[in-house]
Amino acid sequence: MPLNIDGCIEGSYQLIGGNFATAGEASTCLKLKLTELGVAETIIRRASIATFEAEMNVIIYAAAGWLHYYITPHGIKIRIEDMGPGIEDIELAMQEGFSTAPEWVRELGWGAGMGLPNMKKNSDLFKIDTVVGEGTTVEMVINIP
Amino acid sequence: MTLAEISEILDALSIVSPEETDDVPFHSVCSADLMSDVLYYHAPNSLLITGLTQPHVIRTAEIAGIKAIVFVLNKKPDARTIELAQQKKIPLFSTPYCTYTASGKLYEAGLRSLRDA
């Protein structure tokens, strides 16, 4: 299927903290959109995994947040902004296995300390801005070769 | 290995029956209760063996390209999980074996992990 992207396609999803019942819905909607646009499966998978991990972080840690996406023929940009606790030590948070997730989150299969490393692994550009007590913004770009 | 063969090896009960994926052969398996591990070591067209039965397991499977899920220790997912799996066309099974034994049986039968396949 040929790539069918004209200009920049953008959109947003609202994310509600603690809502595990619908967690992951925004990422699966974005995945469907990318499929409809004819993006290659390997690119879709990288974008979906990076977005899904970011979405889950909002659900786990924040009160609420937004997921914005911008799709052009050259790449997919995803920005996730949350009203959460912020990250005290980004370097530590980027280490595989480091997590501050509470026990009940771990019992649900999350909080393994692989979220941020997984976002970085699946992105060509990864940027994180955080203010303790205010929130975190993650920006990721996945190139379309 | 087909789903029918996997199901027989694991003495598994079908919860959501396969549709088109029935004849798609499986070459790899992931056994995990940590969803980020599934996402980190993802490989398309794999089978997931897990003890978690919540709906977000189905969403994780969809994102990671997992094509079928086996719940261990006779665990049965709730109605929301089953409904989501039906929507996403992801077959679900339940096996009486624990994760270790279920994984061992499939390894013995020739299926390897996502990383080694």
Q: Is the ipTM of this complex over 0.90?
A: no
Chain B touched by A57 (CB under 8 Å): no
Give me the number of domains chain A comprises: 1
Domain that holds residue A41: 9-143
- Please tell me the pTM assigned to this model: 0.89
Tokens 């992931």, residue located = B30
A33 Cβ under 8 Å from any chain B Cβ = no
Neighboring chain B residues of A50 at a CB cutoff of 8 Å:
none
Is A72 within the bounds of a domain?
A: yes
Residue A46 lies in a domain: yes
Rounded CA separation A12/B70 (Å): 34
Q: Do A114 and B34 touch (CB under 8 A)?
A: yes
CATH number at residue A56: 3.30.565.10
Domain annotation covers residue A2? no
Strands (E), A1-145: 9-16, 64-72, 75-83, 125-131, 135-143
Please state the three-class secondary structure of B6-32 as a single string.
Answer: HHHHCCCEEEECCCHHHHCCCCEEEEC
**Which tops the pLDDT comparison, B43 or B11?**
B11
pLDDT profile of chain A (145 residues), mean per 10: 89 94 92 96 95 95 96 97 95 93 89 92 97 97 96
The answer to whether residue A3 sits within a structural domain is no
Q: What is the DSSP letter of A134?
A: T
Q: From the list A31, A52, A108, which residue is nearest B39 (CB)? A: A52
From residue A109, alpha-carbon distances to A12, A77, A114 in Å are 27, 27, 12
Rounded CA-CA distance B40/A123 in Å is: 13
User: 3-class DSSP state for residue A97?
Assistant: coil
Q: Domains in chain B, start-ordered, CATH in brackets?
A: 3-113 (3.40.1390.20)
| pLDDT value of position A21 | 82
Query: Does residue A1 belong to any structural domain of this protein?
Result: no
pLDDT tens by residue, B27-46: 899 999 999 889 887 777 89
Half-sphere exposure of A32 (CA within 13 A, CB side): 8
Token duo for residue A134: 């205010």
CB B1 within 8 A of CB B109: yes
A131 is a domain residue: yes
Tell me, yes or no, whether A66 lies in a domain.
Answer: yes
For A51-76, how does the pLDDT look when each residue is reduced to its tens digit (9 = 90+)?
A: 999 999 999 999 999 999 999 999 99
Q: What is the residue type of A64? A: A
